[in-house]
Amino acid sequence: MTTRTRNLYILMLANLLMSASMTMIMPFLSLYIETFGDYSNAYVQRWAGYIFGVTFLVAFIFSPIWGRIGDKHGYKGILILTSFGLSVCIFLMGFAHSVTYLLILRIFMGVVTGFIGVSNAFIARQTPRNEAGKILGTLQLGGVTGMLFGPLIGGAMADLFGFKDTFTITGIAMMVAALIVAFGVKEIRTEEQKEAAKVVYSRRAVLKQIFTLRVLFTVMVITALIQIANFSVQPLLALYVGDMTQSDNIAFLSGLAFSATGFGNLVMTRKWGQLGDKYGYEKILNILLIMAAVFVIPQAFATNLWVFIFFRFLFGIAIGGMVPCTTAYIRLAAPGVMQGEMLGYNQSARFLGNVIGPILGGTLAGFTGIPSVFLFMSFMFLVAFFILLYALRSDRIRHVNVD
């Protein structure tokens, strides 16, 4: 087994643990807030959005910084640092007694929330351009598997052991991921990469490169729109599931709703990457955006939990191909010495969407109810589709005129 292949599978395992740990707390975050006092539903929904989103607001700032450091000094140290930092933050959440305490910890989480993005940059840097979609899709299988089982396990543990013990176990799982990377990953930097790292590009030069390549910039905008749509409902799923059923195991059932999306990811994410390698990442991304818009609408009108879960699964099939396609496109279009930082900016776009989505979703749900948030999601996917379609058509016209 080559070093590149070994690193890929080790990071798949680490991504599995990190994604599972991050998503284990999602099904009951709003339920955890309810334990701090006697609050109204609107208050809980609003603060669930703030606490969920603030991590990604801070990560929006720090993600390009991690990518820039990785381009210059290597990625392994960053992977260890971020996984260790996340472990400590999650562990301390078990001792939260107010929304303020929880908010502060989520802010610190934002500083070190860079593991998944840095691991993508690490593998992308070692991957031939014509295989980027397939390899990055393979890497994402680890994260997708974690997303599949994390919410389910987290919801079940919260029902069985309580919130505090669930946070403790989650923190330990993240610490294991840090140790796996520390002792299992071997980062090899060629002489060419070392020499390239000595060339210092200003942030202005990197941003100029992004804005010059129109479709590259458009892909980053679409990345943000995808996350706005996807994350607008994430903090509200437990409450929405609770409205559909009278069961005592709400945390477990909401975890099942989360996991249905992860299972859809698992089924098709690698295949979407392969199709992107073959037919073009932009074309596949446009197909996925339409599919996501269609599969979200029935979720707004579902009254049966199992019907809702079925459409969450179909939605997961569509959403699962978006990350490998956008990441592979950036890997294809970005200069090698800037890839880490450009992927960092793309990750920042994801985090920006993660911030705006929960806040918009929580606010919209407070005024018009949770079902309207799903309709908002569908609209955002359609907006992303038309933006990408316009950018591709404009580029084709520009190339024709140049020729």
Residue 202 banded pLDDT, cuts 50, 70, 90? low
What residue ranges do the domains of the chain occupy? 1-200, 201-402
| Mean pLDDT calculated for residue range 240-249 | 78
| Mean pLDDT calculated for residue range 210-216 | 73
| CATH code for the structural domain at 201-402 | 1.20.1250.20
| 41-55, 105-119, 266-280, 330-344: segment of lowest average pLDDT | 330-344
Express as a percent the part of the chain with pLDDT over 90.
Answer: 14
| Alpha-carbon gap, residue 350 to 347, rounded angstroms | 5
* Cβ partners under 8 Å of residue 373, min gap 6: 232, 233, 236, 300, 361, 364, 365
3-state secondary structure of 199: coil
| Mean pLDDT calculated for residue range 139-147 | 75
**Mean pLDDT, the chain, whole residue set:** 81
pTM of the model: 0.70
Q: What's the gap between Cα 54 and its chain centre?
A: 15
Question: What torsion do the CA atoms of 76, 79, 85, 90 make, to the nearest 10 degrees?
Answer: -150
Burial (CB < 10 A; 0-12, 13-18, 19+), residue 184, is middle
Phi, then psi, of 208 in degrees rounded to 5: -65, -40
* Tokens (6 digits) for 134: 């397939």
Greater model confidence, 185 or 208: 185
Greater model confidence, 66 or 302: 302
| Alpha-carbon gap, residue 315 to 310, rounded angstroms | 9
Residue 299 banded pLDDT, cuts 50, 70, 90? very high
Closest CA to 35 of 102, 92, 90: 102
Cα dihedral sign for 125, 130, 132, 135?
negative
| Alpha-carbon gap, residue 284 to 324, rounded angstroms | 11
Cite the beta strand spans of 147-245 per DSSP E: none
Residue 129 banded pLDDT, cuts 50, 70, 90? low
| Mean pLDDT calculated for residue range 206-217 | 74
Whether 199 has a pLDDT exceeding 60, the answer reads no
What is residue 402's predicted lDDT score, i.e. its pLDDT?
46
What is residue 372's predicted lDDT score, i.e. its pLDDT?
92
Residue 335 banded pLDDT, cuts 50, 70, 90? low
What is residue 277's predicted lDDT score, i.e. its pLDDT?
83
Whether 194 has a pLDDT exceeding 70, the answer reads no
| 5-9, 167-171, 342-346, 380-384: segment of lowest average pLDDT | 342-346
User: pLDDT digits over 58-103, tens only?
Assistant: 888 888 788 778 777 778 888 998 899 999 999 999 888 888 889 9
The answer as to CATH 1.20.1250.20 being correct for domain 1-200 is yes
Whether 350 has a pLDDT exceeding 70, the answer reads yes
How would you label 350-376 residue by residue, b for 16+ Cβ within 10 Å and e otherwise? bbbbbbbbbbbbbbbbbeeebbebbbb
| Alpha-carbon gap, residue 124 to 129, rounded angstroms | 8
Query: Which residue's entry shows tokens 């393979």?
Result: 138
